[in-house]
Structure 1
Amino acid sequence: MVNIRSLDPSASPLDYYGWELRRLREEAGLSQQQVGDIVFCSASLIGQIETAKKVPTRKFSEQLDAALMTGGAFTRLVGLVLKSQLPAWFQPYAEMEAKAACIYSFQAQLVDGLLQTPDYARAVLGARTVDDLDTKVAARMERQRILDRASPPLVWVVMSEAVLHQEIGGRAVMRNQLAHLLAMQEREWLKIQILPFAAGAHAGLPGSFNLLRFEDDPDIVYTEDFVQGHMTADPAAIREGSLRYDHLQAAAFSVEESAALIARVMEERYGDQPAPDGRALA
C-alpha cells in the first residue's frame, strides 16, 4: 500500500483530499476505525480514501465534515475531486459549462447529461465498460449541481424523438427518466423541446452539439466524437451552430407539445403492462 506521507497533496484533488483526511484525523487523535464508526463505514474505506485509492462521495464528505468539525471543508473539496474524475478531454468543457449563462443543447441519441437520472447515466456510462462506474456516475451527477444554484443558467434542450424510444437501462429506468424530464420542465429557466420523427431531414443530422453563451466571454460551440470533445469560439462556427439551433427549435414541437409527447411515450411505451397471467409488469 502507498504510504500516505509519500503522497503529493498537489498532485490532484483526490490526493489532496486523502492527505487532508489523514492529517485532520490524526490531529483529532482518531483511528481509521473510529472515524469509520462515526461516518458508518469501514476502517478499510477510510484507509483507501486516505491513500487516494477510492473516490469519496458527497454524502461521505458531509458526514466527515460533521465528524471532524471541519466547517464544510470536505463538502467543498469533494466537488473538485468528482470533477477531476471526468475524462481529461471533457474537463475543459465541464469548466466552461459551469460558468455559462445560457446552455443550448441538441441531442440526437441520448438525454442530455445535465438531465440524466443516476440509473440512466449508469446504463449509458456502463455500455462499454463497468470500470469505476460508481465514480463516473457520481461525477456526472456533480455536473448537475449547476442547475440548483441560486442563479442557474438558462438551459434549453432540443432532443430527437428517438431519444424517448431508445430504451436505455430497461423500461423502469426509462419511465423514471422521462418522469424526471417532465419534473425538470417545470423549472422556468429550463425548457425541453422534442424534434419529431415527422420533421424528416433537419439541421441536426450531422450530430449532437451544444452552444454555451456567457455574460462577458465569447460564445462556444461544443461537439464530440467517441474519442474526445471539441470546443471552439470561432465566429464562423458560432454562426453556423446558432443558425442550426434556430432551425431545430423551429422544427421541434413547442415546449407544451413536447411535454405531452414525453408523458404519452412514458405511459404507452414504459407504463405498466399486463403479463399473460394478468399480473402487471413494471
Structure 2
Amino acid sequence: MVAQREPYEVPAIRAFAAELTAWRCTMSKVELAERLGYTPQLIGQIEGGKNIPSKQFAEDCDTYFKTNGLFVRLWKLIMETRRMAVLPPGFSKYVQLEAQAGTIRTYSLVLIQGLLQTEEYARAILLTIQRPDTVEQFVTARMERQAILTREKPPRLWATIDERALRSMIGGREVMRGQLEHLLELSKRPSIMIEVVPQSADEYAGLGGDLILLGFDNQPDIAYTESAGRGQVVEDAAGVSEFQVRYDLIRGHALPVAESRKLIESILEDL
C-alpha cells in the first residue's frame, strides 16, 4: 500500500509499528531491510505508522524475530479494522462527535453530503476512491451513520448544497433519480432543512470546498473539513468562528427551502 504523509490513527497499526521498532532496536533500518528483503524506506514507513504492512511482511518478521506469530496477529487485527485504516485522518473523531451533536450544518459543493446519500449513490462514489474489497464496508458504515436522523431525538440538520452537486451524474441516471427523490423525501422531515445554492450564484464563499459545523448542548461548537485526503476537526473558538462566518456567507446565496424543493424537482424531471 502507498504510504501516506501523516501517521494512521488506528491503534492496531500503531501497535504493529511500536513492536517492529522494539524488536529492531539492536540493528538499523538498513540492516533489517537487507535481512528481510525490503527497502529501508518501507521499514521506516511502517515504523512511523504511515504504511500498512502486508501479510507477507508480518510473516517475515515473525520468522526472523521468532515471535510465535505476534506480527501476524497484529496484521489480522489491522485487517479487521481496515475500514478505519483507510479513513481520512481525523474522520474517526468527527464521526464520534457527529453522533453527539444536537445541530448539524453542512455545505456540499460537488457531492451530496454523506448523511443524505442513498446506498447506491454512496457506493458509486466509494468505488472511485476505495479498493473494491472494502467498498461494502464503507457503504454499510455510511448507512449506519444516518441512523442519527431517525432516532427518537434527531439532530436539527441544515444541509446547503450547490446545484452542481445535484446535476452531477454520479452512478448514472437511475442512481441520480433515486438520490434526488431521497432528498425530496428527507426535506419533508421537520428536523431537516435542505437549501440549494443555484448555479446563478457565480462566485461565492462556497467555492473553497465543503464544510460541516456541529453544535452541542453542553460544549462548544466544532467544525470539520477535508483537504488532500486529510480530515481536520477544528475546535478552537477562532477557527470555528471563521467557519461559521463562511457558512453564513454561503447560506446567503441559497434559495429558501420551498424554492430549493422546486429546483430539485425540476432537475429530477429533466433526468
Could you list the per-position Cα deviations for residues 74-111 of structure 1 after superposition, in whole angstroms to 9, with x for gaps in the alignment?
xxxxxxx8985872621110000000110000100101
Shift of 1:131: 2.7
1:199 equivalent in structure 2 = 201
**For residue 222 of structure 2, what is the aligned residue in structure 1?**
220
The runs of at least 4 aligned residues of structure 1 exceeding 2 Å deviation read 51-55, 81-86
Partner residue in 1 for 2:166: 164
Within 5 Å, give how 1:48-59 maps onto structure 2: none
CA pair 209-139 structure 1, distance change in 2 beyond 3 A: same
- Alignment map for 1:258-273 (pairs within 5 Å): 258-268=260-270, 270=271
Q: Distance in 2 between matches of 1:178 and 1:54?
A: 35
In structure 1, runs of 5+ residues without a counterpart are 1-9, 12-50, 56-80, 271-282
Select 1:141's aligned residue among 140, 143, 159: 143
Higher relative contact order (Cα pairs below 8 Å, separated by 6+ residues): 2
Question: What residue number does 2:101 align with?
Answer: 100
Secondary structure of residue in 2 paired with 1:127: coil
- Match of 1:204, SS state, is helix
Q: Residue 180 in 1 paired to residue 166 in 2? A: no
Q: Is the 8 A contact 1:111 1:163 kept in 2?
A: yes
Task: Give the aligned CA root-mean-square deviation in angstroms.
Answer: 2.4
User: Normalising by the residue count of structure 1, what TM-score does the alignment of the two structures yield?
Assistant: 0.65
Q: What do the CA deviations read for 1:223-275 (whole angstroms, capped 9, x no partner)?
A: 1023210011121222111111112112101100000000110111x2xxxxx
**Residue 205 of structure 2: SS of its match in structure 1?**
coil
Deviation at 1:53, TM superposition (A): 11
% identical aligned pairs? 39
Q: Does structure 1 retain, via aligned residues, the 8 Å contact 2:106–2:212?
A: yes
- TM-score normalised over the length of structure 2: 0.68
Q: Is the 8 A contact 1:164 1:178 kept in 2?
A: yes
* Count of matched residue pairs: 197
Give unmatched runs, 5+ long, in structure 2: 1-10, 13-75
* C-alpha spacing 1:168/1:113, structure 2 compared with 1 (3 Å): same
Match of 2:156 among 139, 154, 157: 154
The offset of 1:204, in angstroms, is 1.2
Conserved in 2, the CA contact under 8 Å of 1:83 and 1:143?
no
SS at match of 2:223: strand
